[in-house]
Amino acid sequence: MRKNYDFKNAKENPYSNRLKRQVTIRLEELTISYFKNMAEEVGVPYQTLINLYLRDCAANNRKLTMTWVKD
């Protein structure tokens, strides 16, 4: 390794705006198992599948519709 590096001609990372951010989220075991099984089938990490699913929901402005039933 060099002692010093010259970055004066360096270019900004064009993908820096697409970098991922680590967050903590609580998911049910059944949900995690579902994505892990799917990940094995398609050969993609399960975190990537969850991210793709959530990105699709955000891109298509999907809204959850819930109806609560009173006892």
At residue 28, φ and ψ (nearest 5 deg) are -70, 150
What are the pLDDT tens digits along the chain (71 aa)?
889 998 899 988 888 777 888 899 999 999 999 999 999 999 999 999 999 999 999 999 999 899 999 87
Residue 47 located in a structural domain: yes
Residue 15 located in a structural domain: no
Contact 39, 29 (CB under 8 A): no
pLDDT at residue 15, as a whole number: 80
Residue 71 located in a structural domain: no
Range of the domain at 43: 28-61
pLDDT at residue 63, as a whole number: 93
Instruction: Tell me the pTM.
Output: 0.67
Residue 45 located in a structural domain: yes
- Close Cβ partners of 62 (under 8 Å, ≥ 6 residues apart): 56
At residue 11, φ and ψ (nearest 5 deg) are -105, 150
Residue 13 located in a structural domain: no
Residue 48 located in a structural domain: yes
Could you give the number of structural domains in the chain? 1
Residue 34 located in a structural domain: yes
